[in-house]
Amino acid sequence: MIARSIAILFFALGCWAQSKSVLFVTHSAGFRHGSIETARRVMATLPGIRVTATEDLSLITADRLRAFDAVFFFTSGELALSDSQKRDLLDYVRGGKGFGGAHSATDTLYQWADYGEMIGGYFDGHPWTEPVTVDIEDPSHPSMRHLSGSFRILEEIYQFRAFDRSTVRVLMTLDATSVDLNRDGVNRTDEDFALAWCREYGNGRVYYNALGHFDETWLDPRFQTMIHQALLWLVREVDGPGAPRVTKPAFAELPAMAPGSVIRIEGRELTMGDFAEANPRTTAAQLAGTSVRIGGRRAPLFRVEPGAIVAQVPFGLAGEVSLAVRSGGAEAKATIRLRDSAPRIVATVGEVKPGSVVTLYAYGLGELDPPVPAGALAPFAPLSYARAAPKVTVGGRPAEVLFAGLAPDTIGMYVVNVAIPTDAESGAAIAIE
């Protein structure tokens, strides 16, 4: 029994010795966040990593950093680091170690430009402290794999200066449609509000996550997994991409479309390289870093991938309008002419035979009465009719349209009930316009 206990002890000590070690620096030379103590407790519980939390900046020297595989900042203000300490920290990361930061780690060391270049940007105000929608731009990264599409969270949202997408790999961004862009203090005009990114720095790795203002964020399992997986990535226990992704989106000739049409935009580099889709029975304003504007308005998105986007044209548009696909920081544009209707049959239910009634399911029948917003599920009551009833032919013969309107509990799908002419041939082709 004693021998077995000694063996277990040595095994445990061996596992402890093999664990990767992270120095968690929470020194505040400026505003001190109330969530720091919660952050320290959470970091201590992350499995597979030994976290040493400290306020002692003297640990940032070449000799003392050798004991750690990564350094992680939750700091603020101008930290009192000497020139040699700054040099040691940069050399440490460039030499192959990890550096990470949460929230106010970008509200730190403004007078040290090399730090801002390493972490990827500097804090430039927080216009919003409210529930927001966060878009997962790179679901392939270990710190994002547990999340799908987007999520909602109450946070203090940072914006950044000295930030350049060409130098970092953006992992998640703010969905700009979930906030008021006219709020005082909004400094960016491109609606590109990155909230997490990573990069390669010399032979080392860097990760930053802008969340973490509240205790509730640190206690949120989604955020804890982000930070845990990010730390494992920093110390090379898990692998994942760190190189910037620069796209040049381009799309092919666009299909005919009308207000409310569900369309497929085909092209190349239409996303940052990943497949993403909205949650079931919903749409999203942004997916995997991609958004579409038609007539200056956000088009609801169903799914995106590098070669195709499925989106819905907003209602209330007519004539010539612009269509722009934005992927990361790049954009492709075209001018299109919307039709009153551009019907496309996707399914036929019922047997086409003289005197029968068949049901067509189609997209693109145009404006509605009463209106239903693009991206919203059609209600069961009241039914929403197509303002202009489509013309249907069966084998070239005109057919009576009994009903044409949105199919309840669907997004953008129209249902058309058609009486087959008594003189039509069985199995004749149905056309709609």
* Residues 147-158: tens digit of each pLDDT: 977 899 999 999
Interatomic CA distance for residues 246 and 84, integer angstroms: 35
- pLDDT for the residue numbered 8: 34
Q: What band does 280 get if pLDDT is binned at 50, 70 and 90?
A: confident
State the CB neighbour count (10 A cutoff) for residue 64: 13
Mean pLDDT, range 18-33, rounded to an integer: 95
Interatomic CA distance for residues 360 and 162, integer angstroms: 54
CA angle 112, 116, 119 (to 5 degrees): 135
DSSP secondary structure letter of residue 76: B
- pLDDT for the residue numbered 238: 97
Among residues 143, 137, 64, 141, the alpha carbon closest in space to that of 102 is found at 143
Q: What band does 313 get if pLDDT is binned at 50, 70 and 90?
A: very high
CA distances from 283 to 151, 210, 261, 359 (A): 13, 25, 14, 26
Q: Please report which helix (H) or strand (E) contains residue 84, including its range.
A: helix 83-94
- pLDDT for the residue numbered 18: 63
Backbone angles phi, psi at 305, to 5 degrees: -155, 170
Q: For 65-80, write each residue's pLDDT tens digit.
A: 999 999 999 999 999 9
Strand partners for 336: 321
Mean pLDDT, range 150-175, rounded to an integer: 95
- pLDDT for the residue numbered 7: 39
Q: Tokens 């790795």: give the residue.
A: 205
Mean pLDDT, range 169-195, rounded to an integer: 94
Sign of the C-alpha dihedral, residues 251, 255, 261, 263?
A: negative
Least confident segment among 16-20, 102-106, 377-381: 16-20
CA angle 236, 239, 242 (to 5 degrees): 95
Residues with Cβ within 8 Å of 116's Cβ and at least 6 positions away in sequence, in order, are 106, 109, 110, 122, 162
Mean pLDDT, range 389-396, rounded to an integer: 95
- Domain boundaries, given as residue ranges, for the chain: 2-234, 250-338, 344-432
Q: Which CATH architecture has domain 2-234?
A: 3-Layer(aba) Sandwich (3.40)
Question: Does residue 12 have a pLDDT over 60?
Answer: no
Q: For 213-236, write each residue's pLDDT tens digit.
A: 999 999 999 999 999 999 999 999
Does the fold of domain 344-432 match that of domain 250-338? yes
- pLDDT for the residue numbered 52: 98
Q: Which CATH class is domain 250-338?
A: mainly beta
- pLDDT for the residue numbered 4: 44
Tell me which CATH code domain 344-432 carries.
2.60.40
- Are 226 and 196 spatial neighbours (Cβ–Cβ below 8 Å)? yes
| Stated pTM of the model | 0.84
Q: Please report which helix (H) or strand (E) contains residue 387, including its range.
A: none
Return the biggest CA–CA distance within the chain. Answer: 95
Q: What band does 253 get if pLDDT is binned at 50, 70 and 90?
A: very high
Q: For 105-137, write each residue's pLDDT tens digit.
A: 999 999 999 999 999 999 999 999 999 999 999
